[in-house]
Structure formats: C-alpha cells, structure tokens
Amino acid sequence: MSVISEVLRSAKAVISGMKTTISQIPKEKWTVQYPDVPVTVQPRYRGQHLLHVDEMGKEKCVACYLCAAACPSDCIYIEAEDDPRPYEDRIGRDERYAKVYNIDYGRCIFCGYCVEACPKDAITHGYNFELSVYNRADLLKTKDDLLITKQKQSDKYRVALSSEDVDSEFKEV
C-alpha cells in the first residue's frame, strides 16, 4: 500500500469524525462543569444518610434497630441507651436513644431499605454524595457525621424542583 493512499484514508476518517463534532457545537450542552458548577440532583436522590431531630432539637431515633435489621449489607451499627430524664433534658425524643449510630459507607449500597424500615422517620437519605476519603477507616460515619444538625452539606449540589426534568441520560436528544 502506498503512502498516498494511507494519507487519504486517514484524512477521510478525520473528516467524518470532525463532521459529528462540528455538528454538535450549535446544539444544547449537557456537560456539567462539576465541581465549578453545582450538580442538579433529583429530589428522590439517595445520598448520605441524615438522622433527623424534632422541632425541639431532640433526636428522633429511638434505637429500635429496625434499620440495622433491614440493611442487606449489614452496615449499620447501633448501641441503644436508656435516658430516663424528662423530655427537656433528654438527648432523644423518647426515653431510649442511640448512643452509637454508625454507618459504614464502605459497605452501604444506598438501597434505602433503612429509610423504608424506620418507624419514626428518623433516618432519610440526604443529597451529599461526596463520600470519597483518603483513608478507608474514614468511610465509617458516626452520629457526628450523620445528624442533620451536624452534617456538613456540600455546596456542590442543587436539588431539582419536582417539576424540573433532569433525567438527561434518558432524554431524547
């Protein structure tokens, strides 16, 4: 095969490729400039869990262990404790609260069964998704990381309105 035919064949391939590229330039863009621009997430997005508190700031969790029982990857560890003090002095809303509440994000599969199981609406999925760490042990999140009053929310996401359509992957382009 001569050198000329080789060059011609390559030029043809480049032109057909560039044709696709150039034809996309005037169209709407779907790339998100994360982390410079916040990502839009669905309202039902399953991110890092949140442990909720009631209007008086008392933890809603009563340490019933149902989330731990429902968890298919066995990543929730709880230690319950009795809190006989009156409501005003208590940590939790009820006389029993979770002294220890750990979720191991090395194992969590974000299935949402714990949220389904919770009888007190104490645990939900938040939107934080930036869970990568430099040390595997740091994937174990304790109550200090999970409580809604203490969890540091990333400013790198924006929750979509329910009317908003953000399912870009499935959208006909």
Partner 1 sequence: MAEELIKVTIDGQEFEVEKGRPLIDVINEKGFGVPSFCYYADLELQASCRMCLVRIEKMPKLQASCVIRCTDGMEVTTKSEEIEKAQRAMGEFLLANHPLDCPVCDRGGECELQEVIFDWGDVEERFDEPKNAHPEKFLSPIVANDQQRCILCKRCTRVCHEWMGEDAIEAGNRGSNTVIGTYGGWLNCSQCGNCIEVCPTGTLLDGVYRHETRPWELDQTITTCTYCSDGCQLSVGSRADEVHRIVARDRYVNGINGEFLCIKGRFAHGFVNHGDRIKTPLIRYKKGGKLIPSTWDDAIAFAAERIKESKKAGVVATSRLTNETVHTLKRFADECRDGTSYAVSDTYDLAPFFENLSAPLCTHKEIRFAETIVVIGGDVDEEQPLTAKQIRQAVRNGGANLILVNDTPSRLSHQASQFIHVNPGTVEAFVLALADPSAADMAAAKMGIGRAEIDKARETANATKGDLIIMFGKELGAEAQAVAANLPSRHENRNVKLHPLAGYCNSVGASDMMPGRKPVADVVAGSDALLIAGSLSDEEFAAADLASKPFVAVQELFLTDTAAAADVVFPAASFAESDGTYTNNDGFVQRVRRAIDPVHQAKPDWMITSLLASELGADFGYSFSASAVFRSIAESHEAYEGLRYPDLKDETRPVRVKHKLVSGADVSGAVASLRDRVSQFPDAADKITEEPRVGHKLHRVTTMTGKTPQFHLLANGNPKPDDLLVSPLFQFNPDGSPKKEEESEVAAG
Sheet strands (E) in the chain: 39-41, 49-51, 76-82, 96-104, 123-125, 140-141, 157-159
Contacts of 108 (CB under 8 A, 6+ apart): 73, 75
Per CB under 8 A, 158 contacts partner 1: no
Q: How far from 9 is each of 12, 50, 69, 104, CA to CA, in Å?
A: 5, 58, 63, 55
Per CB under 8 A, 121 contacts partner 1: no
Per CB under 8 A, 58 contacts partner 1: no
Per CB under 8 A, 70 contacts partner 1: no
Per CB under 8 A, 64 contacts partner 1: yes
Q: Which of residues 72-111 bind partner 1 (CB under 8 A)?
A: 79-85, 89, 94-96
* Identified binder of partner 1 from the candidate list 102, 106, 112, 120, rule CB under 8 A: 120
Per CB under 8 A, 57 contacts partner 1: no
End-to-end CA distance of the chain: 41
Query: What is the contact surface with partner 1 in residues (CB under 8 A)?
Result: 62-66, 68-69, 79-85, 89, 94-96, 119-120
